[in-house]
Amino acid sequence: MPYPVNARGIDVVVGWSGASERIRARLLEVFCAGIRMRSLVGNLTTLLVIGTFIIAKTPTPAHVAWLVLTAAGGCLPRAYAARLRAQARFDEAPERKALCFIAISFVYGLVWGAGPLLLLPHLPGEAAGVLLVMVVLGTIMGPYAAIPGILYARLVATASLTLVAVAWNLGLAVALIGGVITFWLGLRTDVWRGYHRALRDQLESHAMLASRQARLEQANQEKDAINRSLTRMAETDPLTGTGNRRRFLAWLDAAHAPLALIVFDVDRFKEINDSLGHHSGDLLLQALVRIVDESLGNAGRLARMGGDEFAILLPGADSSVAIATAEYIRERIAWRPLDLDGTTVRITISLGVAVADTPDTPIDIAPLLAAADTALYAAKRQGRNRAAHTGAKGAKPRDEQSLGV
Pairing type for strands 243-244 and 301-306 reads parallel
pLDDT range class, residue 42, cuts 50, 70, 90: low
Please give the pLDDT value at position 405.
32
Give Cβ neighbours of residue 110 (< 8 Å, ≥ 6 apart): 157, 158, 161
Least confident range from 27-41, 114-128, 239-253, 368-382: namely 114-128
Q: Using an 8 Å Cβ cutoff, are 340 and 280 in contact? A: yes
111 residue type, one letter: V
pLDDT at 186: 55
Q: What is the 3-state secondary structure (H, E, C) of 54-123?
A: HHHHCCCHHHHHHHHHHHHHHHHHHHHHHHHHHHCCCCCCHHHHHHHHHHHHHHHHHHHHHHHHHHHHHC
In the structure, what pLDDT confidence band is assigned to residue 197 with cuts at 50, 70 and 90? low
Mean pLDDT of the chain: 78
**Residue 2: predicted pLDDT:** 42
**Alpha-carbon gap, residue 347 to 289, rounded angstroms:** 13
Measured distance CA(197)–CA(194) in Å, rounded: 5
How is 7-59 classified by DSSP, letter by letter? -HHHHHHHT-TT--HHHHHHHHHHHHHHS-GGGHHHHHHHHHHHHHHHHHH--
Residue 162 has pLDDT above 90, yes or no: no
pLDDT at res. 397 = 37
Measured CA to CA, the distance from residue 148 to residue 162 in angstroms comes to 21
What confidence score (pLDDT) does residue 267 get? 95
What percent of the chain is modeled with pLDDT above 90? 31
Centroid of chain to Cα 2: 30
At residue 1, the pLDDT reads: 37
pLDDT digit string (tens) for 277-327? 999 999 999 999 999 999 999 989 999 999 999 999 999 999 999 999 999
